[in-house]
Amino acid sequence: MRFFSKKEPYTKQLSILPPAASRYRRGVAVAAVVKNEASYIGEWLHYHRAVGINQFIIYDDGSTDGTSEVIRQTAPPESFQIIPWAGRLIDAPTGNILNSQAIAFAHAILNFGSAYRWMAFIDVDEFLLPKSARTVEDALGAAGGFPVVSLPWHMFGPGTHVERPSGPVLRNYTTRAADPLSSKKNVSNFKCIVDPCAVSKVSIHHFESTQHGECTANDAGIKAPTRKARKDKSFYSSANLQLNHYYTKSREELEAKLARGPASPASRPRYEARVRSAVASIESDLVEDRAMIDFLDRTGIELEGGGGGA
């Protein structure tokens, strides 16, 4: 893999013409780019199917560990698409590196978006948690139908786990960074759930809509007029829908993550510095967060498909 320096130009945002909505569109789809997630994607799929996700659009970035086989074993064939997505692109006239994740998200909207009321763009270490509703779609009702909903990361660290524990991720990790809108480096960002038939610009952490531009809503329907305005403390909410980001898992797995290096075009030393900075920020101010465990107990969802070691 080639690693790129910070000085090289890097294109992260794409403009698109949104697809026309199907008259039969419904439900929530998730689009995700994955690489070598066989150990955890089963739990991720099983959980999100249990909270009402209709379709998984999986972009496989050259996995070699059987990720696709786990998907096929976990989810019914009508519930997912697996799209090969290996390689990196560079715009020849400008030399700009094109972000393959942003391209995948644009592809998902343009090719599948017309069939769904909502489309979420998250990673396999991120879980959508309805706080009082039973499904993600019901929880989205509190956002008032606004076409771009921004959910802040709730960043979970390794806790007391030095080695990979047995059992599911969602029951093993309960300590996270106290402030989801922290100013500390690398610990605060957003992922989005959008109306795919209203999106005009696509990036990894922010989307724009044809009618409202940069304006986005939180899970309670409160608006932020710009991307940067999401960082204002008045925008924070997780009352209805919370995004849990299990960033490191155990310390053993953190070191393995660093050894693998970045999936994005970044230098290995810069990547390691960013990850260790994020972990230090998480652990500098921790709170216990058992909302996911409370939800699992309340709903009786049984987690299957991996997530624990011997």
pLDDT at residue 115 above 80? yes
Nearest-CA neighbor of 286 among 140, 187, 168? Answer: 187
Residue 293 lies in a domain: no
Residue 277 has pLDDT above 90, yes or no: yes
Sheet order of strands, 10-11 included: 10-11, 97-98, 89-90
* Amino acid, single-letter form, for residue 54: N
Q: Is 229 helix (H, G, I), strand (E, B) or coil?
A: helix
Q: What global pTM score does this model have?
A: 0.93
Classify residue 264: in a domain, yes or no.
Answer: no
Say yes or no to pLDDT of 1 above 60: no
310 has a pLDDT exceeding 50: no
Residue ranges of alpha helices (H) inside the chain are: 41-50, 67-74, 100-112, 136-140, 169-172, 251-260, 268-284, 291-299
Q: Mean pLDDT over all residues of the chain?
A: 92
Average pLDDT over residues 224-231: 97
Question: Is 79 a domain residue?
Answer: yes
pLDDT band at 308 (very low <50, low <70, confident <90, very high): very low
**In this structure, what DSSP letter does residue 269 have?**
H
In a domain, 25, yes or no: yes
Tell me what pLDDT residue 305 has: 55
Residue 5 has what pLDDT? 43
Least-confidence region, from 1-5, 114-118, 193-197, 273-277: 1-5
pLDDT tens digits, 90-114:
889 988 888 999 999 999 999 999 9
| 265 within a domain of the structure (yes/no) | no
Q: Which residues pair with 126 in a beta bridge?
A: 245
Mean pLDDT of 30-34: 98
Note down the domain range covering 221. 11-150+191-255
Instruction: Look up residue 99 and give its two tokens.
Output: 């972000």
Whole-angstrom distance, CA of residue 116 vs CA of residue 196:
7
State whether residue 192 is helix, strand or coil.
strand
Residue 160, C-beta contacts closer than 8 angstroms, at least 6 positions apart: none
The answer to whether residue 300 is domain-embedded is no
* Cα–Cα dist 79/166, whole Å: 28
Helices marked H in 113-237 — which ranges? 136-140, 169-172
First to last CA, the chain: 31
Q: What per-residue confidence (pLDDT) applies to 12?
A: 82
Residue 27, domain member (yes or no):
yes
* Measured CA angle at 3 (ends 89, 108), to 5 deg: 35
Q: Are 240 and 133 in contact (CB under 8 A)?
A: yes
Confidence band, pLDDT 50/70/90 cuts, at residue 227: very high
Provide the number of structural domains found in the chain.
1
- Mean pLDDT of the 157-167 span: 95
Number of DSSP helices (H) and strands (E) in the chain, helices first: 8, 18
As to burial, measured by CB atoms within 10 angstroms (0-12 exposed, 13-18 middle, 19+ buried), residue 130 is: buried
Output the pLDDT for position 52: 98
pLDDT per position as a tens digit, 40-58: 999 999 999 999 999 999 9
Looking up residue 33, the CATH number of its domain turns out to be 3.90.550
Strands ordered across the beta sheet of 207-209: 14-15, 199-202, 207-209
pLDDT band (50, 70, 90) for residue 269? confident
| Predicted pLDDT of residue 130 | 98
Task: Give the amino acid at 279.
Answer: V
Whether the pLDDT of residue 262 is over 70: the answer is yes
Residue from 127, 147, 125, 123 nearest 136 by CA:
127
pLDDT surpasses 60 at 307: no
- Return d(Cα 65, Cα 44) in angstroms, integer: 16
> Residue 170: inside a domain, yes or no?
no
